[in-house]
Amino acid sequence: MNLFRKKSIQALLSENEQRGTELKKDLGAFDLSMLGIGAIIGTGIFVLTGVAAAEHAGPALILSFVLSGLACVFAALCYAEFASTVPVSGSAYTYSYATFGELIAWILGWDLILEYGLASSAVASGWSGYFQGLIGGFGIHIPKALSSAYDPAKGTFIDIPAILIILFITFLLSQGVKKSARFNSIMVVIKLAVVLLFIGVGVWYVKPGNWTPFMPFGFSGVATGAATVFFAYIGFDAVSTAAEEVKNPQRNMPIGIIASLLVCTILYIIVSAILTGIVPYKLLDVKNPVAFALTYIHQDWVAGFISIGAIIGITTVLLVMMYGQTRLFYAISRDGLLPKVFSKVDKKKQTPLVNTRITCLIVSFFAGVIPLDKLAELTNIGTLFAFMTVAIGILVLRNSKNPVSSGFKVPFVPLVPILAFLSCGYLALQLPKLTWISFGVWLVIGLIVYFGYGRKHSGLNQGEAPLRKIS
């Protein structure tokens, strides 16, 4: 049996065309850009900036964001070409099916399940912390046993707020992609306003002396900082999971991916410069560095707005991550590598309703019971692995016998894909050894699932036609 059999791009497009209106095409370039910004600006900018500055980069946090941003720009160009060429649900999983074949596609799909699933749980857990901090200011306190993940030593057993926000997001996703996108766009506007408020207030309190020494931990600290804040960029790839619900994907997908990444990169660089200019970097090792910086300069009223903005920001990240997870399950199931229940579409709402509810249960369990640090551990390496695979996929795509002429094209091939691969690989090498070991274990589990279920039930293995109508 050929483990590397491929679905040609022509077959994928034909399958998508015959499938018709299973998923409703409702999204334009603005919706996609907002989805991308909604996914990117959140936990990274509101939480990780402080730790990265205090422990790794110092004021050179700016360079860390530039390094991570460059790696993501190269990868984003590769994603944009694939999303334009193969406008089908499944993101990098689907692209790999067309370029590398079934086994590699499954490995990447399994990798993305890790990224979206655990990232969703981690984000919900982070949201819970901010929310409890906000209501605590009004004298409202959730019973300790219900306030955080299972840790008997601290007297906590389940994180109820995290589960409640997941249930709300699940309800929203089940209403259809347009309503979800509209809610996301409103939240993103509020979130951007809060970030701009921080910039507008904070810039007047910058003390250039706080930028000295600029690189206290050397360039290795900047590189480690870049690997840490890379989490802040995760999300733009989730835009590509929306491919089948986009009007004119050849034009709108590249705009959504690249525009969202560029907006966020510029904001990150400005925010990190102001943050380290306001507060000495050694004091930034806190969970809410942006709000802390405003409290530090006695702008408490602005700090309150920032806290609300952080909650809104993290909500939109959760929305897009869970959306990406459901569409990934949908694509893999449609190919037979996961049970068909994941690709069953509700005829009335034109969304994978059962899939969405199963995702809710899985994400709720992990967010409610497993501590945040354990959840977040593997997210970066999973994403970097996906970016590296997509970069190599562009080189394979360009050298294929039947190249596709329409749609967005990565400039300066093979230079840009090679730079994407090398920069993401460099960041991955900065991650701890334990993370690599854990990632290896996850992939081994994935191979067991594939050879135990996926290989036998694969649509291609059963000799099915490229189209498999979902009822």
Identify residue 298 by its one-letter amino acid code: H
**Which SS3 state, helix, strand or coil, does residue 156 take?**
strand
Question: What's the CA gap between 419 and 57, in Å, rounded?
Answer: 23
- Provide the sign of the torsion angle of the four alpha carbons 83, 242, 358, 321, taken in this order: positive
Provide the pLDDT for residue 331: 85
Question: What's the CA gap between 212 and 455, in Å, rounded?
Answer: 57
Provide the pLDDT for residue 377: 59
Name the stretches of the chain with pLDDT < 70: 1, 16-24, 89, 177, 287, 372-377, 401-406, 462-471
Residue 405 has what DSSP assignment? -
Q: Which residues contact 20 (CB under 8 A, 6 or more apart)?
A: none
Half-sphere exposure of 93 (CA within 13 A, CB side): 29
Is 4 within 8 Å of 399 (Cβ atoms)? no
The pair phi, psi for residue 151, each rounded to 5°, is -160, 85
**How far, CA to CA in Å, does 443 sit from each of 151, 380, 450?**
28, 15, 10
Half-sphere exposure of 55 (CA within 13 A, CB side): 13
Is 290 within 8 Å of 49 (Cβ atoms)? yes
Strand partners, 27: 246
Which helix (H) or strand (E) segment holds residue 293: the answer is helix 289-296
Q: Which residues contact 405 (CB under 8 A, 6 or more apart)?
A: none
Rg from Cα positions in the chain: 22
Provide the pLDDT for residue 471: 26
Question: What's the CA gap between 13 and 466, in Å, rounded?
Answer: 10
Residue 348 has what DSSP assignment? T
Provide the pLDDT for residue 214: 92
**Domain contains 321:** yes
**Domain contains 327:** yes
| Locus of tokens 């079934």 | 102
**How far, CA to CA in Å, does 430 sit from each of 235, 425, 440?**
20, 9, 16
Q: What percent of the chain has pLDDT over 90?
A: 24
Q: Is 263 exposed, middle or buried (0-12, 13-18, 19+ CB in 10 A)?
A: middle
Task: Identify each DSSP E strand in 300-360 by its residue range.
Answer: none
- Number of separate domains in the chain: 1
For residue 128, give the CATH number of its domain. 1.20.1740.10
Range of the domain at 174: 26-457
Q: Largest Cα–Cα distance of the chain, in whole Å?
A: 68
Provide the pLDDT for residue 47: 73
Question: What's the CA gap between 356 and 177, in Å, rounded?
Answer: 12
